[in-house]
Amino acid sequence: MKVTVDEVKCIAAGHCVMHAGAVFDQRDEDGIVVLLDENPPEELAEDVRQAAAVCPAMAIHLEE
């Protein structure tokens, strides 16, 4: 799985961090998503899929 994020689309809701905190974080100054691991291990794949599914801005993109 390859993960990319669109920081321009991100609205800093934080749902990604709640679902996959090992893969996503937020900048302190504005809450915009920070991608920590663009190729997360398989054991985190379902959490990452859930994070992408609940992103209100659809700013997370996955390549399986």
Query: How would DSSP label each residue in 4-33?
Result: EE-TTT-----HHHHH-TTTEEE-TTT--E
Task: Give residue-wise pLDDT tens across range 20-31.
Answer: 999 999 999 999
Distances (CA, A) of 1 to 13, 30, 45, 51, 60: 23, 27, 7, 14, 12
DSSP, collapsed to helix, strand or coil, labels residue 60 as strand
Enter the pTM of the model.
Answer: 0.95
* Backbone dihedral region for residue 5 (phi beyond 0: left; psi -120 to 50: alpha; all else: beta): beta
Task: Give residue-wise pLDDT tens across range 29-48.
Answer: 999 999 999 999 999 999 99
